[in-house]
Amino acid sequence: WQDIALGGILLISGFLRLFRYSSRSIFADEQATVSLAALDPINLWLSVAGMDPHPPFYYLFSHYWGAFTSLTVANLRLTSVFFGTIAVYGMYRAGRLLYSKHVGLLSSLLLAVSAHHIASSQYARSYALLSLFTIFSFYYFWRLRNSSQIYGLIMYVLFTAGIASIHVY
């Protein structure tokens, strides 16, 4: 029953994040993301270094995602919907690792219906990806406390480096 419950939570999470994700007005920050992502990678890197306090990884991701699809605010918001939903799954894994499957389900449900997390998962900004990387960084850090698997160490380093390359905090 717990797998069914997790599946339901993820469906609810995805639905809440998809619901009217492209109906809001475009914010100036989102337009700046699209403008920076439209640049070639070298000019993007130079522009971010000169005018934006955030590291360039999310803008580079947006650039290549835009080349794969089309560079629109709606498409970038869609990636945030995806990252936010995967973060809910990560919260389940962290709660399960720390305490139990029940706590994992409850914590993922709370994140799934969190108004703040839903809103940040609908912006064409790095917030959803930041929360995803933060949750998985913590998850792999906690796993390293109990075992010294090289896989866990690599994943911890990758997610933590990802955090540092996405946001200044």
Amino acid identity for residue 157 in this structure: V
Average pLDDT estimate for 143-160: 89
Amino acid letter at 23?
A: S
pTM, two decimals, is 0.90
- State pLDDT tens for residues 77-135: 999 999 999 999 999 999 999 999 999 999 999 999 999 999 999 998 989 999 999 99
**Dist CA 164 CA 169 (whole Å):** 8
How many CB atoms within 10 Å of residue 67? 11
DSSP 76: H
- Over residues 43-63, the pLDDT tens digits come to 888 888 877 788 888 888 898
> What is the average pLDDT value for the chain, to the nearest integer?
90
Q: In sequence order, which residues have a C-beta less than 8 Å from that of residue 44 and are 6 or more positions away?
A: 36, 37, 56, 59, 60, 63
Give the residue-averaged pLDDT of 25-38: 85
Predicted local distance difference test score (pLDDT) of residue 24: 80
Q: Which of 145, 147, 14 is nearest to 83 (CA)?
A: 14
Distance CA 165, CA 169 (A): 10
Q: For Cα atoms 26, 35, 41, give the angle at the middle one, nearest 5 degrees.
A: 145
